[in-house]
Amino acid sequence: MLQKTLEDPWSIMLVASEQAQLMANLAKLINASKTIEIGMYTGYNTLNMALVVPESGQVVACEIDDEYVNIAEPFFKEAGVEDKITVHLQMCIKTLGRGLTLKTLKMHEKIGLHIKHRERWQPITSVLWSGKVVDPAPDDLTSQALDKLNKKLHTDQRIDLSMLTVGNGLTLAIKRYR
């Protein structure tokens, strides 16, 4: 799967293997039985999550490009996790609007969506966006949205943050006890 993804012209969207490993370990740490992947691309991180959730676990993956779903599905089958993964080929807001209850939530914030849930922590990927968030171009709406998200998180007194420079950046936002 990794090799196939690296051959794609948009392979810059691939989550770093270290980041995928950390996300899988965090899911194991909290005994996640359900995860969601928003913008699964070729399914590399989706596959990593499916490998660590229990047999009865579920990974919901949202993707808008059927080309990437077609790349991912044979790898899901080869790994024996296709029954744990449900791919929604639609905008994530339609899937999330169905009221899914999730123990862990992986958010791909390039879509400009901030999701609140009951858990104490929230992993957020791609927060560095190849460094473009430092001084976003006026026409780069994705970088501008990420810059705003990063600044909002930085000033939010309800959470503690850890931003890792692994891959394209990973932020762990943790709710403070009151």
Question: Are β-strands 58-63 and 170-175 bridged in parallel, bridged antiparallel, or unpaired?
Answer: unpaired
How far lies 143's CA from each of 63, 108, 109, 150, 171, in Å? 20, 13, 10, 10, 16
Which parts of the chain fold into alpha helices (H)? 2-6, 17-29, 44-52, 66-78, 92-96, 141-155
Q: So what's the pLDDT on residue 119? A: 60
Strands 58-63 and 34-38: parallel
Written as one letter, the residue type at 148 is K
| DSSP letter for each residue of 25-50 | HHHHHTT-SEEEEES-TTSHHHHHHH
- Spatial distance between the Cα atoms of 44 and 23, rounded to a whole number of angstroms: 12
Percent of the chain with pLDDT strictly greater than 70 = 84
Q: What is the pLDDT of residue 5?
A: 85
* Confidence at residue 93, expressed as pLDDT on a 0 to 100 scale: 65
Domain boundaries, the chain: 2-126+159-175
Fold classified for 2-126+159-175? Rossmann fold (3.40.50)
Give every residue of the chain whose pLDDT is below 50, as ranges: 99-118
- pLDDT tens digits for range 22-54: 888 888 888 888 888 888 889 999 999 999 999
